[in-house]
Amino acid sequence: MARSPLSLAALATVAIPRLDVVDARAARPSGGDVDSAVVIDADGRRWVVRAPRSSAAGAALEAEVALLSRLMGHVDADRLPFDVPRPAGFAPLPEGGRAVVHSQLKGRPLALELLGPGPGLAAHVGRAIGALHELPEQTVEDAGLPVYEAEAYRQRRLSEVDEAARTGHVPAGLLRRWERALEDVALWRFRPTVVHGDLSSDQVLCSREAPTGILGWSEAKVADPADDLAWLLVAAPQEAVDPIVEAYTLRRTETSDRHLVERAMLAGELALARWLLHGVRNDSAEVVDDATAMLVELDEQTSVDEPPVATAATFSSAAPSSAGSLSEEGVAATDEPGSLEHSGLTEDPAEGGHEPGDPTPGASAEEPQPRS
């Protein structure tokens, strides 16, 4: 059973001694098996508390915490131009595992309509993603998160398409189109990098000038850098795409990936297949119907002879990530804190982020496993 914000606030006081909580608010749902809330202390500081509801979610949360400790070092060394959640305390849970508490990062979720031409916010976002992709693979590997070679990752995508095809809900034209792209070995000659794996406008916090923080690291891995660009190339205003890609490319030391943009657009399309599989695996007719409708629309907009072209509709359904990451903080940093005594719990509206990351809990049986 889900924990209430009050229960999570109590855990926060265990995790951080002498924390004086005056308000607790429900965070937006993460879609994973993790309860979350934002608590506000007597000094007006905001804290995010998260507690897993299953052993699998607990293991994923522990891996993310291990990664965050490494990312913090890169932030402090100015290798990353944004902050990450910084765990400040832990509280043991009666059923095993532990809750984690971190201070809420500054900034607001990225408003895509603010991205435009020239050296502004769009370029800063591209540069931030490029900096992430320059981190050493060891950052992810030491945290026990997946590491894929390029060919293994291509096979993983093929397995996803095969599984989606077996549902009978993917138009034949799309299947041919995807299989053709996935069987083009030249398209998949890339150097794997550290990737966030679940980027969306909700995960990227910004000031008006630049990114200030990135949340939700549970899907991090060493894999295809195109995955982290898919959401932007699909959903950002067209005039912002060139500044994003140019700034990203200039920040990278690897400049020989000629098919990066093409794979990013393909990743945007394959997000629909993963959304469909999420619905099938969770027996959700609503999700299956939603994914099927978008697949039909995408099929009508494309043909086998055209390169991958995703549309903004690709990200129009919120696909929950597999592990309930440190992402859904729910309350803007400028909101005024309320009092538990006078106002009770305040439900913050869920903001729908539309994510290209894999919403399914792990690879299927046919998928190759990451290299150890």
How far apart, in whole angstroms, are the C-alpha atoms of residue 275 and residue 259?
24
Contact 119, 210 (CB under 8 A): no
Q: How does pLDDT run across 194-247, given as a tens digit for each residue?
A: 999 999 999 999 998 999 999 999 999 999 999 999 999 989 999 999 999 999
Beta bridge partners of 36: 50
SS3 content of the chain, % helix, strand, coil (to 5): 40, 15, 45
Q: Is the pLDDT score of 174 beyond 90?
A: yes
Cβ-count burial 4-42 (b if 16+ within 10 Å, e if not): ebeebbbbbbbbbeebebbbbbbbbbbbbbbbbbbbbbe
* Confidence class for position 82, pLDDT limits 50, 70, 90: very high
Least confident of 51-55, 98-102, 121-125, 302-306: 302-306
Contact 12, 21 (CB under 8 A): yes
* Confidence class for position 314, pLDDT limits 50, 70, 90: very low
Closest CA to 42 of 20, 27, 10, 23: 20
The dihedrals phi and psi of 283, each to the nearest 5 degrees, come to 50, 40
Give the three-class secondary structure for 200.
Answer: coil
* Confidence class for position 306, pLDDT limits 50, 70, 90: low
Overall pTM surpassing 0.85 (yes/no) = no
> How remote is the C-alpha of 149 from its chain's centroid?
21
Q: Is the pLDDT score of 348 beyond 90?
A: no
Q: Is the pLDDT score of 91 beyond 70?
A: yes
CA trace torsion 283, 284, 289, 290 (10° rounding): -140
Is the C-alpha dihedral spanning 111, 116, 119, 123 positive or negative? Answer: positive
Residue 355's pLDDT is what?
Answer: 34
Residue 195 gets which letter from DSSP?
E
The dihedrals phi and psi of 54, each to the nearest 5 degrees, come to -145, 165
Q: CATH number of 8-105: 3.30.360.10, 1.25.40.10, 3.30.750.24, 3.30.200.20?
A: 3.30.200.20
Q: How does pLDDT run across 128-138, given as a tens digit for each residue?
A: 999 999 999 99
Is the C-alpha dihedral spanning 59, 60, 63, 64 positive or negative? Answer: negative
Residue 356's pLDDT is what?
Answer: 35
Share of the chain above pLDDT 70, in %: 80
Q: How does pLDDT run across 41-51, given as a tens digit for each residue?
A: 999 999 999 99
Q: Is the pLDDT score of 99 beyond 90?
A: yes
